[in-house]
């Protein structure tokens, strides 16, 4: 259950961290398209020069180099995004008393634990969005019953589809010497994955902006310093007369 955060930690605007995550997500998207292009280039090279090992080795080097750069960019984007998510989760815990489905450690753990990483991160984000929304009552008991938003659903579906296709594409070229048909299948899946991950990237940037906007709109008063109607109770504050 979500408890009262330490009093030495206060609300913080995460617009700068969100902007950094958005920029890195954009870089990953561009590199995703570059990787898809390199997969098609490898396929075309083997198709046109089946007996020229040097040309294919050059194409393979380009593909491998872009793959390494893309992986490093993805790691950086993921790290910054999770830091942003951790911080907005802390804000969310102070905005609203409602119990989150998972403890704060799952903000990171949900992404790296096998199997559950297919739905846990979405539920973590769902609860953050719900707690950040000014329409959510401050004293609500749990966030579990609040339905997820269409933005979060769309972001998560496109992300999972792109991730699965990318993994399938990588496995198809790791099974022994590459064949022309395997390279073609890999190139097709890489292209589809690039489309899906681009959609996921756009939606992720929109999600970052949406959460930041919600948190800036909600009064920065901890839930334990408000009455049941959501008004601050310190410094003699009185709710406006209706």
Of the two residues 221 and 196, the one the predictor is more confident about is: 196
Confidence grade of residue 189 (pLDDT, cut at 50, 70, 90) = confident
The tokens describing 157, both together, are 């579906």
Of the two residues 151 and 13, the one the predictor is more confident about is: 151
Distance CA(84)–CA(137), nearest Å, equals: 24
> Residue 60: which of 74, 68, 197, 195 has the closest Cα?
68
The lowest-confidence range among 15-24, 134-143, 198-207 is 134-143
For the chain, the farthest-separated pair of C-alpha atoms sits apart, in whole angstroms, at 84
Q: Long-range CB contacts (< 8 A, 24+ apart) of 172-175?
A: none
User: What pTM did the predictor assign?
Assistant: 0.85
Quote the pLDDT of residue 233: 45
């Amino acid at each position: 259950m979500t408890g009262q955060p330490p009093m030495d930690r206060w609300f913080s605007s995460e617009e700068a961290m969100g902007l950094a995550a958005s920029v890195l997500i954009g870089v990953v998207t561009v590199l995703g398209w570059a990787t898809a292009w390199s997969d098609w280039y490898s396929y075309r090279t083997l198709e046109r020069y089946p007996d020229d090992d040097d040309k294919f080795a050059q194409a393979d080097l380009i593909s491998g180099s872009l793959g390494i750069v893309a992986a490093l960019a993805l790691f950086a984007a993921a790290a910054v995004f999770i830091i942003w998510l951790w911080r907005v989760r802390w804000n969310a815990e102070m905005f609203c008393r409602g119990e989150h489905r998972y403890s704060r450690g799952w903000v990171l753990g949900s992404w790296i634990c096998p199997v559950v990483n297919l739905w846990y991160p979405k539920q973590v984000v769902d609860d953050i969005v719900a707690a950040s929304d000014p329409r959510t009552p401050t004293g609500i008991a749990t966030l579990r019953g609040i339905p997820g938003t269409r933005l979060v659903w769309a972001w998560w579906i496109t992300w999972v589809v792109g991730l699965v296709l990318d993994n399938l594409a990588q496995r198809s070229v790791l099974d022994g010497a590459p064949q022309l048909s395997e390279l073609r299948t890999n190139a097709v899946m890489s292209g589809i994955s690039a489309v899906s991950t681009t959609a996921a990237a756009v939606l992720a940037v929109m999600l970052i902006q949406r959460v930041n906007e919600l948190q800036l709109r909600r009064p920065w008063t901890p839930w334990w310093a408000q009455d049941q109607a959501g008004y601050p109770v310190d410094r003699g504050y009185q709710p406006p007369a209706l």
